[in-house]
């Protein structure tokens, strides 16, 4: 298996633009997580899905952020409109278990909002 695949690896956009980050989890994993990483706040859980259903989105910062998982092999994280404070590395991870098993992270999408 190729592991968790994220795209794009780097995104530079201007404030107010829509940003869509994509993730393909490892086949057979029932859980998918979106994390945001910044120097100040470290790794923050934004949302996670189980069998394509959002379970906990309490980490989503505000209504500008939305995430979907239309099928078992694809998820998106959308920011609309984007702001400079959204600049961060966004990681997708998948797992067999909700949190008591190994998380397999993608290589991340580095977002810069000017």
Partner 1 sequence: GENVEQHPSTLSVQEGDSAVIKCTYSDSASNYFPWYKQELGKGPQLIIDIRSNVGEKKDQRIAVTLNKTAKHFSLHITETQPEDSAVYFCAAFGNNRLAFGKGNQVVVIP
Q: What is the DSSP string of 29-45?
A: --EEEEEEEETTTEEEE
Q: Which is nearer to partner 1, 45 or 81 (CB)?
A: 45
Strand partners, 12: 112
Compare residues 81 and 112 and give the one whose CB is closer to partner 1. Answer: 112
Tell me the closest approach of the beta carbon of residue 59 to partner 1, in angstroms: 9
Tell me if residue 84 falls in helix, strand or coil. helix
Q: Between 15 and 77, whose beta carbon lies closer to partner 1?
A: 77
Q: How far apart are CB 50 and partner 1 at their closest, in Å?
A: 11
């Amino acid at each position: 298996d190729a592991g968790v695949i994220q795209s794009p690896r780097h995104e530079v956009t201007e404030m107010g633009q829509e940003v869509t980050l994509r993730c393909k989890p490892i086949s057979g994993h029932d859980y998918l997580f979106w994390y945001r990483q910044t120097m100040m706040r470290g790794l923050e859980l934004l949302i996670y899905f189980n069998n394509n259903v959002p379970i906990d989105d309490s980490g989503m910062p505000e209504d500008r952020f939305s995430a979907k998982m239309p099928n078992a092999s694809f998820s998106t994280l959308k920011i609309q409109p984007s702001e400079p404070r959204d600049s961060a590395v966004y990681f997708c991870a998948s797992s067999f278990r909700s949190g008591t098993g190994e998380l397999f992270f993608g290589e991340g999408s580095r977002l810069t909002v000017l």
